[in-house]
Amino acid sequence: MCGIALALFGSDAVRHDSSLGDYTDLWENLCSACVERGPDWSDSTSLSLYRGSEARLDIVACSSVLHLRGPGGRQGLTRQPHIGSDGSIFAWNGEIFNGIPVEHDENDGLKLFNAIQGSPGDMDSLKRILSGLEGPYAFVYLHKPSQMLYFARDPLGQRSLLLHLPTPSEPILLLCSASNHRDLEYEEISTEGVYSISLKGSIFECAKSLTCVPRDNSVFDGWKTLNRTIPPESLSPISVEQIEEFISRLDDSVRSRVANIPSNNVDSLQSETPVARLGVLFSGGIDSSVVAYLADSHIPRDEPIDLLNVGFENPRTLGVPQNKAIQTAKVQRKRDKKERKKGLYAPQTQEVPATRVVDEPPKTGTYDVPDRLTGLQQLEELKRLCPHRKWNFVCVNVPYEECKQEESKVMALMHPSNTVMDLSLANALYFASRGKGVIYGSEGESYTSPAKVLLSGLGSDELLGGYSRHKIAYNQGGWDGLVSEASTD
């Protein structure tokens, strides 16, 4: 992904010696957050809008690039912010898979900008162009001739975009991919439409002109409501064709995300042996395991794939060693006992195949968390299914103290989300995406993943009813109960 930020100041809020006055630190922090999201390139631009000879509004925009399209190296990198011949500014964070034809050696952000610039540049033309797009995105577009500012996210909200509106104490309007540590009130913009702001007045008049216009019909409109049709009591067996179609769609989705990843980092260009361009956030669950298996067929066989597995140190269990098999058995007995009391337990009527055993038990000690153990089991399965592939199982071990030290940064990055569950998920994503750990079996040698694209199975449990709460809802309320529970996702 890339990073984008735009700041709009009233002319009385900054000095006219090209500095940002009291907002210099704020802007530098936002730009730093942008650079972390796009390490291959970053730049900024600025302009002023005038009433007569006096500057009325000062605007600065920053963009960074994570190079995922086009040839490797600097020669294949498309820089941004994109600036049109009319002075318009376009900051883009996204990937286009369908809707606008983009060749593998072309930049999708530039193609979209050219399409927008070739239109009248108004809300109707912008909505029409966006209606056919498939892929994650967030953008900010300043159309200078009309002095209008437009911004939006994709309908599924796969890219973040935060908004801070000016207040008497902080007369500044901000749009950014991620917040920083300054105590400002941000809100995450909705995915329901395209936003616009008129820049023809003062900073506060601009804020009052904020408008959200619903999207035109898009490829996602059919997903807004859940199919509540209850199937007949006697279900016919799922056909092989349906299963194959599902796998084919999922495989095509994986292919579109891993095809033609450029090798433009120093390690890739200078190494005599291939290095990993792809990583998988790997818990060992069926979702991440299937994603890793499908990715294997779309990555050259001589390249490794990094399996990033996070383990957090739990201070409550330090110094209390216990045989893992005994501990697991105790947990399972407690779970079965609870399910029997609730009437949810159904004894097995068929023989369950024995679980594949890892030849060498993990030697990570403190970090023998459930995801580590299941991850190692699935590593053996991937080795069996794809023996040609070098699978780097990266043990990302996070000491408790390090987790606490990084907590304020993680909370700033995930803002405005603020629940305990949000923090738990954000911690796992933050430490996994850094890719710093030890490759299992490497005798403790430190390793940092060079992968530029990371895949995860997030969302599969919501889409396919994979949580235990879905099972409970079905057992207690049948199909009606399951549909009601699924609608909460």
290 pLDDT band, cuts 50/70/90, is very high
Q: Compute the distance between CA of residue 489 and CA of residue 480 in angstroms, rounded to an integer.
A: 15
Amino acid type, 232: P
Amino acid type, 226: L
Instruction: Give the range with max mean pLDDT: 112-121, 321-330, 361-370, 480-489.
Output: 112-121
231 pLDDT band, cuts 50/70/90, is low
pLDDT at 354: 38
Record the tokens describing residue 322, joined without a space. Answer: 């216990």
The dihedral of CA 317, 320, 323, 326: what is its sign? negative
pLDDT averaged over every residue in the chain: 83
46 with 19: CB under 8 angstroms?
no
Record the tokens describing residue 148, joined without a space. Answer: 């209008």
Q: Compute the distance between CA of residue 231 and CA of residue 160 in angstroms, rounded to an integer.
A: 37
Nearest C-alpha neighbor of 66 from the set 200, 188, 177, 210: 177
Quick one: 274 exposed, middle or buried, by C-beta within 10 A (0-12, 13-18, 19+)? middle
Q: Is the pLDDT of residue 19 over 70?
A: no
Residues 6+ apart with CB under 8 A from 435: 279, 306, 308, 394, 396, 448, 449, 450, 451
Nearest C-alpha neighbor of 48 from the set 90, 100, 87, 85: 87
pLDDT at 234: 64
pLDDT tens-digit readout, 81-98? 999 999 999 999 999 988
pLDDT at 281: 96
Q: How far apart, in Å, do the first and last CA atoms of the chain sit?
A: 25
pLDDT at 181: 59
Q: At what angle do helices 123-130 and 108-117 cross, to 10 degrees?
A: 150
pLDDT at 241: 86
pLDDT tens-digit readout, 378-402? 999 999 999 999 999 999 999 999 9
- Of 8-22, 115-129, 139-153, 250-264, the least confident: 8-22
SS3 category, 44: strand
CA geometry: angle 391, 437, 251, nearest 5 deg: 35
17 pLDDT band, cuts 50/70/90, is very low
pLDDT at 147: 94
Tell me the mean pLDDT in the region 368-382: 93
pLDDT tens-digit readout, 340-356? 455 443 433 333 333 34
322 pLDDT band, cuts 50/70/90, is very low
pLDDT tens-digit readout, 33-74? 888 888 888 999 999 888 767 778 899 999 998 887 665 555
Sorted by where each begins, the domain ranges of the chain are 3-223, 240-317+356-458
Q: Is the pLDDT of residue 263 over 60?
A: yes
Q: Is the pLDDT of residue 123 over 80?
A: yes
Q: Is the pLDDT of residue 428 over 80?
A: yes
H-state helical runs in 88-177: 108-117, 123-130
Nearest C-alpha neighbor of 62 from the set 76, 78, 82: 82
116 with 142: CB under 8 angstroms?
no
442 with 395: CB under 8 angstroms?
no
More confident residue, 300 or 328: 300
Q: Compute the distance between CA of residue 65 and CA of residue 412 in angstroms, rounded to an integer.
A: 21
Q: Compute the distance between CA of residue 359 and CA of residue 473 in angstroms, rounded to an integer.
A: 38
CATH of domain 3-223: 3.60.20.10
More confident residue, 216 or 335: 216
14 pLDDT band, cuts 50/70/90, is very low
SS3 category, 484: helix
pLDDT at 221: 58
pLDDT at 11: 64
Return the residue matching tokens 């499908």: 294
Q: Compute the distance between CA of residue 130 and CA of residue 213 in angstroms, rounded to an integer.
A: 13
222 pLDDT band, cuts 50/70/90, is low
Residues 6+ apart with CB under 8 A from 134: 96, 97, 98, 99, 219
pLDDT at 462: 83
- Three-state SS sequence of 150-190: EEEECCCCCCCCEEECCCCCCCEEEEECCCCCCCCCCEECC
Record the tokens describing residue 397, joined without a space. Answer: 């071990």
- The phi, psi pair for 352, rounded to 5°, reads -95, 125
Count of CB atoms within 10 A of residue 430's CB? 19
pLDDT at 45: 94
pLDDT at 66: 87
Q: At what angle do helices 240-258 and 286-296 cross, to 10 degrees?
A: 70
Nearest C-alpha neighbor of 5 from the set 116, 131, 162, 129: 162
Share of the chain above pLDDT 90, in %: 46
pLDDT at 166: 92
309: Cα within 13 Å, side-chain hemisphere: 32
- The phi, psi pair for 311, rounded to 5°, reads -130, 125
pLDDT at 456: 93
